[in-house]
Structure 1
């Protein structure tokens, strides 16, 4: 099912959309706008999933025991040294 809708575009948006149609990339202005809305829908859904995953990660990290700055620095230095050995980079 399709719904007819009236929208307003800026001159720049209209020119860009028309250039996509004129170049043959899209068959109509409606196709351009539908694709734009689909991309926005996908982006919004992706951001929602990423935000939920980050919230879950933060909640898990808050439940874990905290480590000192000294311990964290030691772990980072160990990780860097291990990576350097793997890719054979001298400090």
Structure 2
């Protein structure tokens, strides 16, 4: 189902959208705007998923025991050494 809507574009946005139609990449201005909104929807959903994943990671990290800076540096050095020998 389609919904008709009135929108305002800047001159630059209008020129760009019309150039996409003129070049044959899209069949109409409506198609250009629909694709733009779809990409924005996908980006927004991906950001939501990423934000939730980061939130969960932070919660897990806060529940885990903390280690000292010295211990972390030691672990990083050991990881680098393992990588060096595995190449």
TM-score by length of 2: 0.97
Gaps spanning 5+ residues in structure 1: where?
Answer: none
Q: CA RMSD in A?
A: 0.6
| Structure 1 residue aligned with 2:69 | 69
Helix, strand or coil for the counterpart of 2:60? helix
Gaps spanning 5+ residues in structure 2: where?
Answer: none
Aligned: 1:21 with 2:45 = no
Displacement, 1:84?
1.3
TM-score by length of 1: 0.93
Displacement, 1:85?
1.4
Distance 2:46 2:2 in 1: 25
Distance 2:40 2:19 in 1: 20
Distance 1:28 1:86 in 2: 55
CA deviation vs aligned residue, 1:23-53 (integer Å, no higher than 9, x gap): 0000000000000000000000110011001
Count of residues in correspondence between the two structures: 87
Which segments of structure 1 move beyond 4 Å, counting only runs of 4 or more? none
| Structure 2 residue aligned with 1:49 | 49
Helix, strand or coil for the counterpart of 2:5? coil
Distance 1:81 1:18 in 2: 56
